[in-house]
Amino acid sequence: MKYLALTAALLVASFSAQTARAADDKFDPYAYVGVGASRSVSFFDGTLGDAFSPISELAPSHVGETWGANARAGYRFHKFLALEAEYEWMKSFNMSVAGVDIGHMQTQVATANLKVIAPFGAFQPYVLAGAGMIFTTVDKAFALDYDVANGVLAGRFGAGIDYWVTQNLSLNLGGEVVVDGAKITGPPGLSSGRGIDYFSAQFGLGYRF
C-alpha cells in the first residue's frame, strides 16, 4: 500500500509539472503601451562640419548631447514577435562651428517597428527595426542663413530588455540608433552635409492590457 501511494504521488507530481509547463508555453496576444526618458548622443558632428566648410576647418564642429522622451504602443501577436508605433522627442541638440554657438535643434522621430522578443520568463530581451520620419525644428543664433531638412525618411534599430515586475507592469532598458538622410545646408557660399543620426539610451515603464 505504501508503494502504491508513493507511485500515485509521483504520477500526480509529474502531471502537475506537465500542466505547469503547458501553461507557461501558452501564449495569448496582447496590446501594450510604454513611456520613458531618452538620453541621446549625436553622430552628426561631421554633417554639421560639412555644411559649414571651409569655416569648420578652423576648429571642429560639435553637437551636444540632450535629453528627451519616448512613447510607444504596440500589439504582441506572437510569442516572439510584436508590431509597434514609436515616437521619440529630443529637446535640444546644441550646435557649434569653429567654437561659435550657431543655435540648437529639436527632433521628433516617428516609426513603425517590428520587434523580435526572446521570452525568458520575466526577463525578455528584444531587438527591433523600424522605418518612419524625422522632423526638425531649429532655433538659429545670430539669424544665420542655414537650413535643416524637415520631414525626411528615417530608420530605427535597437535592442533592449523588458523586465516584467508583475503580469501587467514592466521596466524597460534599451538603446536605439536613428539613421536618416536629412540635409543640413550651410549659409550661401558654403557647402552641405547629410545625416542627422544619433543614439539614444532609453529607460521607462510598460503596461500590457
CB 107 within 8 A of CB 139: no
pLDDT of residue 25: 63
Task: Look up the pTM and report it.
Answer: 0.85
| 147, 150, 152, 155: CA torsion to nearest 10 | 100
Span 159-187, average pLDDT = 97
pLDDT of residue 59: 87
The predicted-structure confidence for 110-165, as pLDDT tens digits, reads as follows: 999 999 999 999 999 999 999 999 999 999 998 889 999 999 999 999 999 999 99
Q: In 26-161, where does DSSP find H-type helix?
A: 45-51
CB 166 within 8 A of CB 130: no
3-state secondary structure of 125: strand
Angle, vertex CA 204, rays to CA 131 and CA 34, nearest 5: 55
Map out the domains of the chain as residue ranges.
Answer: 28-208
CB atoms within 10 A of CB 144: 15
d(CA 39, CA 57): 29
User: Above 50 in pLDDT, residue 5?
Assistant: no
User: Above 80 in pLDDT, residue 48?
Assistant: yes
Q: In 26-146, where does DSSP find H-type helix?
A: 45-51
Phi, psi of 114 (to 5 degrees): -105, 125
The predicted-structure confidence for 30-44, as pLDDT tens digits, reads as follows: 999 999 999 999 999
Residue 128 CB-density burial (10 A; 0-12 exposed, 13-18 middle, 19+ buried): buried
Span 104-114, average pLDDT = 98
Question: For 28-208, CATH number?
Answer: 2.40.160.20
Widest CA span of the chain, in angstroms? 99
Evaluate the omega torsion of the peptide bond into residue 54 and state whether it is cis, within 30 degrees of 0. yes
Strands 183-185, 192-194: parallel, antiparallel or unpaired by DSSP?
antiparallel
User: Above 60 in pLDDT, residue 46?
Assistant: yes
In 43-150, the DSSP E strands lie at 62-63, 66-76, 81-97, 100-117, 123-140, 147-148
pLDDT of residue 142: 83
User: Above 60 in pLDDT, residue 24?
Assistant: no
Give me the chain's average pLDDT, please.
Answer: 89
pLDDT of residue 70: 98
